[in-house]
Chain A
Amino acid sequence: MIATKFELPKLDYAYDALEPYIDAKTMEIHHSKHHAGYTNNLNNAIPGTAYEGKEVEELFMNAKTLPAAIRNNGGGFYNHNLFWKVMSPNGGGLPGGNLADAINRDFGSFDKFKELFSNAAATRFGSGWAWLLVNNGELKITSTPNQDNPLMDVADVRGTPILGLDVWEHAYYLKYQNRRPEYIAAFWNVINWEEVSGRFIDSAKINH
């Protein structure tokens, strides 16, 4: 992706495709307003700066020194791109192959991984994201505030995210209101494990 201008990606599925787990109205507003907003704001913040022409992943390496508008909107742009991809109307079930082996190796079992990830999502205070990430081949779980992510130098736990869950209230409030744990439980029904596995395999090709 040549970063001359960042483009809001189209979804691979319709707004109502993740029903009943994530409602159509939320998907529409989340994609066409929130994600679109981050994309537009990013495109407005970059021109004429030293950050022009760079991929967001490169910018994240020095997130600490980024202007807030670029960190926040660059993060929002990247995070939501990943989010739409790791979900699918044909999602759910269990991962297989190398990813399943790595989950068992690094967390003990899929159930333990699910518990840890869900807990990270439930306990992130305020806005943020829960992540499954890879660091030097090892899987880790973390959460980040606002639109930060584990690619950023400011993250507590750093690495390549392969699965993310948005826990900003806009991600679930229309359907679940205050019941974030119910939203988290529903998420497991839409995870696109093929996509997550592909990202896991690709992460081995990235140097940390």
Chain B
Amino acid sequence: MSFELPKLPYALDALEPHISKKTLEFHYGKHHQAYINNLNNLVAGTKFENATLETIVKEAEGAIFNNGAQVWNHTFYFTSFSPSGAKKPSGKLADAIDKQFGTFSAFIDEFSKAAVTLFGSGWIWLVKNPDGTLNTLQESNAGNPLRKGLLPVLTCDVWEHAYYLDYQNKRPDYIQAFWNVIDWNILSGRF
């Protein structure tokens, strides 16, 4: 199986001013592309040669896991955005958020705090547990909750490459901007 860079559902400048065109040119065009190229090179001649991406994320180790998970994570991240998406959850996801966190606002606070405080590179996740409840999760580097049997609903990339051109050291400002481009209708579809 040869993995390919998936098309972005929006133009590179569509998320301005929250995430700049320049950032997406590098983040999508260089970083995400490189993980795809690396993955294709690494799985050749191994037991993962014809594996699905999800299998790679769940079962691989080392460089194959790092690159495979980063491919999965970035696709999930970029496809969570919309220039004019739903700004709040509705339906079952909204109910689950209120049940778990009290209010939507309290969820935003908790997720944002987790995003600001993760030390080093990594991802913050909103996941659905097998029993239907929700949790926020911090994962370092390429960490992905599929490995723990959890269902990803939302992710935020806090590797510095995700925000450094636009926000430099000001990660909290990036997190605030992140909420402006998340499309909750897309997330509801995952829940």
Measured in the bound complex, the distance between the Cα atoms of B169 and A33 in whole Å is: 7
Provide 28 A-B residue pairs closer than 8 Å at the C-beta atoms, listed in order of the A residue: A29-B168, A33-B168, A33-B169, A34-B169, A72-B119, A125-B63, A125-B66, A125-B141, A126-B122, A126-B159, A127-B120, A127-B160, A147-B120, A168-B160, A169-B161, A169-B164, A170-B164, A170-B169, A173-B160, A173-B165, A174-B164, A174-B168, A177-B26, A177-B30, A177-B161, A178-B26, A178-B34, A178-B161
List B residues at the A interface (Cβ < 8 Å).
Answer: 26, 30-31, 34, 63, 66, 119-122, 140-142, 159-161, 164-165, 168-169
Measured in the bound complex, the distance between the Cα atoms of B119 and A72 in whole Å is: 8
A30 CB, min distance to chain B CBs, angstroms: 9
CB of A145 within 8 Å of the partner chain = yes
- Specify which of B31, B121, B140, B169 is in contact with A37 (CB 8 Å cutoff): B169
Measured in the bound complex, the distance between the Cα atoms of B160 and A174 in whole Å is: 11
Residue from B63, B119, B141, B142 whose CB has the most chain A CB atoms within 10 Å: B119
One digit per residue, 1 when the CB lies within 8 angstroms of any chain B CB and 0 when it does not, for chain A 158-179 equals 0000000000111001100110
Residues of B within 8 A of A169 (CB): 121, 159-161, 164
CB of A135 within 8 Å of the partner chain = no
Interface size on A, as a range, is 20 to 34
B180 CB, min distance to chain A CBs, angstroms: 22
Do A146 and B119 touch across chains, with their CB atoms under 8 A apart? Answer: yes
Do A145 and B120 touch across chains, with their CB atoms under 8 A apart? Answer: yes
Do B161 and A173 touch across chains, with their CB atoms under 8 A apart? Answer: yes
Of all chain A residues, which has the CB nearest B70? Answer: A125
> Which A residues, 37 to 84, have Cβ-Cβ distances below 8 Å to chain B?
37, 68, 72
Residues of B within 8 A of A126 (CB): 120-122, 140-142, 159
Residues of B within 8 A of A147 (CB): 119-120
Measured in the bound complex, the distance between the Cα atoms of B138 and A68 in whole Å is: 15
Measured in the bound complex, the distance between the Cα atoms of B31 and A147 in whole Å is: 23
Residues of B within 8 A of A168 (CB): 120, 160
B55 CB, min distance to chain A CBs, angstroms: 21
Of all chain A residues, which has the CB nearest B160? Answer: A169
Do A178 and B121 touch across chains, with their CB atoms under 8 A apart? Answer: no
A29 CB, min distance to chain B CBs, angstroms: 5
Residues of B within 8 A of A178 (CB): 26, 30-31, 34, 161
B83 CB, min distance to chain A CBs, angstroms: 24
B77 CB, min distance to chain A CBs, angstroms: 16
Residues of A within 8 A of B122 (CB): 126
Residue from A33, A128, A170, A178 whose CB has the most chain B CB atoms within 10 Å: A178
Residues of B within 8 A of A173 (CB): 160-161, 164-165
Of all chain B residues, which has the CB nearest A76? Answer: B119
Residues of A within 8 A of B26 (CB): 177-178
Residues of A within 8 A of B142 (CB): 125-126
Measured in the bound complex, the distance between the Cα atoms of B117 and A68 in whole Å is: 11
Of all chain B residues, which has the CB nearest A68? Answer: B119
Measured in the bound complex, the distance between the Cα atoms of B120 and A177 in whole Å is: 17
Residues of B within 8 A of A177 (CB): 26, 30, 161, 165
